[in-house]
Amino acid sequence: MKKIEHIGIAVKNLKDANALYQQLLGVEHYKIEEVASEHVMTSFFQVGPNKIELLEGTAPESAISKFIEKRGEGIHHLAFEVDNILAEMERLRKEGFRLLNEQPKRGADNKLVCFVHPKSAHGVLVELCQTIKADQEEE
């Protein structure tokens, strides 16, 4: 893995959280993107070399809505950048980590993503993310 690509924060209301994080960080979010398949609306801030992703659930079955119901708002996941997500998934599987998806999924901000179960990482939900290059477009 390369670096922390972003930190995901679960919020109840993206509009309110955007305004607050803009004040906190001193920068405006650079995009808002819905990931309909995951029932989330996301917003991204660039802070130096790292990013903050705010996530709001758009349906009760959204993982974000369930997370907030159980644990309240707060840090939801740490995302690490990888060069080759398939190779990294294979490596982690062999090491005995539990992955939450069998195949990489399309995430926000032009990424292929895969999540590692928090039970495999001392309570931290870990996201692997690989930037989708032009020649890897699937859809």
Which residues sit at the interface with Zn ion, rule CB under 5 A? 8, 53, 79, 127
| CB crowding 21-43: b at 16 or more within 10 Å, else e | beeeeeeebeeeeebeebbbbbb
Q: Which is nearer to Zn ion, 53 or 88 (CB)?
A: 53
Question: Shortest distance, CB of residue 111 to Zn ion, whole angstroms?
Answer: 8
Q: How far apart are CA 39 and CA 50, in angstroms?
A: 24
CA atoms within 13 A on the CB side of 24: 11
State the CB neighbour count (10 A cutoff) for residue 87. 11
Collapsing DSSP to helix, strand or coil, 139 comes out as coil
Question: Shortest distance, CB of residue 102 to Zn ion, whole angstroms?
Answer: 19
Q: Which is nearer to Zn ion, 8 or 104 (CB)?
A: 8
Question: Shortest distance, CB of residue 77 to Zn ion, whole angstroms?
Answer: 6
Q: Which is nearer to Zn ion, 69 or 76 (CB)?
A: 76
Question: Shortest distance, CB of residue 128 to Zn ion, whole angstroms?
Answer: 10
State the CB neighbour count (10 A cutoff) for residue 104. 20
DSSP state of 123: T
